Structure 1
């Protein structure tokens, strides 16, 4: 009799384990479906709130970084402060290694816009320095991608800021 009870207990334990595995598989499938739906909703929301006709993306790069180390950046469009960022040592190190840092996305209506960028930092002698640029850009119905490029100027042992449009 004890032998039959033991066999029944093992049978039900095996059945419960197989049932648990099936339930876990269903839960994982449901989680994946929810994550995919969330991604789709995010993309849809992004397209509705920021259509391609008004999208403007700003990125920053550092060409070598021997003569300038960024500490903070401010970006204004048409006199309105739009983006700000403070740099960590780790981010500066990544920029020196060739990283392209996304600074942010904005909505800009098609037409002409004045873009002003100020990057505060230190030069190779540890002195505080500002790199600044103001340009007028014509935004079309296509997305605008702007690279804020900090370039070393060997001959002057200095750096300059330039905007590059993609």
Structure 2
């Protein structure tokens, strides 16, 4: 007699488990869909926030690159100018190695109002003899209502066995 209730309980448990599995699968699918929706909404909110905080009329970006790097190894860069807070970066060995292989490093995205702005970049580093050097780029740039993208490029000057820095507009 005791075996019958145990078999009945086992059968009932199996039936409930089989019934619960589709419900759990549906709940799991709903959870995955909600997670996707939240991630998509978060991405949309981030883009909206970027557009509101940094509209195209005030968007400016600074980049840094090193051409060959035989005569100069950057240690740091500081970009200052009218209308924005100074941008500073200190380089690691891995970053310098990547720059020598052709990488272009994004330095900063800033808000810069339309008009003329004086920029000054001081790139500190060492030359091929281990001497401390500073490469300075000073230039006036004009920001229009379109995004402004500027690249500070350090290039080798083989004839002088030295390096020079310049500002490149994208």
Corresponding pairs, count: 166
Q: For the residues of structure 1 that align with 2:7 and 2:27, how far apart are their CA atoms?
A: 30
| TM-score of the two chains, using structure 1 as the length reference | 0.92
Per the alignment, do residues 62 and 14 of structure 1 end up closer, same or farther by CA in structure 2, a change over 3 Å counting?
farther
Q: For the residues of structure 2 that align with 1:120 and 1:93, how far apart are their CA atoms?
A: 16
Gaps of 5+ in 2: none
Gaps of 5+ in 1: none
- Aligned residue in 1 for 2:38: 34
- Aligned residue in 1 for 2:100: 96
Deviation at 1:63, TM superposition (A): 0.9
RMSD of Structure 2 on Structure 1 (CA): 1.6
Secondary structure, counterpart of 1:160 in structure 2: strand
| TM-score of the two chains, using structure 2 as the length reference | 0.90
Deviation at 1:61, TM superposition (A): 0.9
Q: For the residues of structure 1 that align with 2:35 and 2:60, how far apart are their CA atoms?
A: 33
Larger Rg: 2
- Aligned residue in 1 for 2:20: 16
Deviation at 1:165, TM superposition (A): 0.5
Higher mean alpha-carbon deviation, 18-27 vs 149-158, is at 18-27
Q: Given that residues 78 and 114 in structure 1 are in contact (C-alpha distance below 8 angstroms), is that contact kept between their aligned partners in structure 2? A: yes
Q: Given that residues 83 and 117 in structure 2 are in contact (C-alpha distance below 8 angstroms), is that contact kept between their aligned partners in structure 1? A: no
Secondary structure, counterpart of 1:65 in structure 2: coil
